[in-house]
Each structure stands twice: as structure tokens, then as C-alpha cells.
Amino acid sequence: MVEIPGIRAFQFASDIEQIRLAFDASIGAMEQAHRAAEEAYDRYVESGEDDDEYDEDGALIVSTRGALRWEAMKASMAQKVIREAFTGSIFHFWETSARYWTGDNDSDFRGLRRAVRKLGYAVDGDGLTLLNEVNNLLKHDNIETGERVLKRAPQLFWNGKRPTGKHWRSSLRLSNDDVRRFLEIVQRSGPTYP
């Protein structure tokens, strides 16, 4: 079978654009839900209404204010989940693409990156390494990977500081721009139009 010149580059660019569109739609929906929840909360507070109910021991059992605040928090947490899920998807898109281009189903990340370079494709080595490490931190949440990510990109962590304890994933703070940068890294790490 003969491959049409430029078809890999076209398919790669098209797939990246589809991932970008899916991310923008997903994150946009949750940002809108978060804004709506925050606005509903603000309207409720400004109304002066207070329907809080307490049991005989004084414990709060029903609160519109609390329910509205919870809706805003859920939408905010969903944005974090979306960013993390797309980060993993972006890395795995590159990895499966690279395995297809090279026919290499056995190499680790470094070997696969070398195999892609041998094809003559551009590879953003530092960027892909960071993306791979962030992906591994999201999957495995271990200190060693966390230390490497912190060294390469402290801005991805809460206040740019080393987390305390064993669980680094919860301190990771990916922004929409970070996810879009990861897409750009992948776009720079494969076939391009001649």
C-alpha cells in the first residue's frame, strides 16, 4: 500500500484540532456552569433571604446558600477533572500516533521519542518530557515523578512550591492555557506539511 504524501501530517493536524475543539467545548460548558452557580449564589445572598434550617442540637440540616455554594464548587472541581483528563488524552494521542508512525510497540517513552526523530519528524523533546511526566504524575501520584515535574515546571503546582506529604497530584494546578500548551507541544512533535 502506498501512502499519500502529507496524509500523516494532515491526519495528525486534524486529530489535534478535534482534541482542541473537544477540550474547548468541555471546559467552556463547565466554566459556564460555574459562572451560573456563582451568579445564583450572589443573587441569593443579595436577596437577604435565609432559609437555613437547624436540628434540635443546632446542626445545620438545610441551606439554600450552602447548596448554591456546593454547585459552584462542583463545577470548579469538574474543570480540574477535565484539564487532567485531556492532559492524559493528549499525551496518549501522541504516544499512539508515534507507535503507528514508527511501528514500534515495545519502546519506552525515550525510545519512542528517538524513533520519531529518526523518521525526520520534529520533536519538542523538553515539552514532551514534561507532558509525559505530568501524565505519569496524574496516573501514579508518586513523589519521584512529582519532584521531576516540580523541577521542570514549578508553576504547575499550588503557589509553585513543593507539596507536603506523599500525594502530589492534588497540588497540581493545570490551567486551560497549560492544556493548550500541551497540545502545542504535541503539534510540534510529529509530521508537518512539507
Taking the model in full, what pTM does it have? Answer: 0.90
Between 133 and 158, name the one with better pLDDT.
Answer: 133
Task: Report yes or no on 156 lying in a domain.
Answer: yes
Task: Report yes or no on 158 lying in a domain.
Answer: yes
Task: Report yes or no on 2 lying in a domain.
Answer: no
pLDDT digits (tens, 9 = 90+) for 100-151: 999 999 999 999 999 999 999 999 999 999 999 999 999 999 899 999 999 9
Whether the predicted pLDDT of 163 surpasses 80: yes
Task: Report yes or no on 100 lying in a domain.
Answer: yes
Per DSSP, 20 falls in state: H
Task: Report yes or no on 10 lying in a domain.
Answer: no
Whats the size of the chain, residue-wise?
Answer: 194
Q: Give Cα separations from 31 to 8, 26, 44 (angstroms).
A: 34, 9, 20
Whether the predicted pLDDT of 13 surpasses 90: yes
Number of domains in the chain: 1
Q: In this structure, which amino acid lies at residue 189?
A: S
Nearest to 176 by CA among 48, 90, 54, 105: 90
Task: Report yes or no on 7 lying in a domain.
Answer: no
Cell, residue 127? 515539552
What is the enclosing helix (H) or strand (E) of 61? strand 60-62
pLDDT digits (tens, 9 = 90+) for 17-65: 999 999 999 999 999 999 999 999 999 999 999 888 989 998 989 999 9
What is the enclosing helix (H) or strand (E) of 53? strand 53-54
- Give pLDDT, residue 161: 81
- Is-contact 185 95, C-beta < 8 A? no
Task: Report yes or no on 4 lying in a domain.
Answer: no
Task: Report yes or no on 140 lying in a domain.
Answer: yes
Residue-range definition of the domain harbouring residue 40: 16-187
Q: What mean pLDDT do residues 168-187 have?
A: 96
- Is-contact 89 27, C-beta < 8 A? no
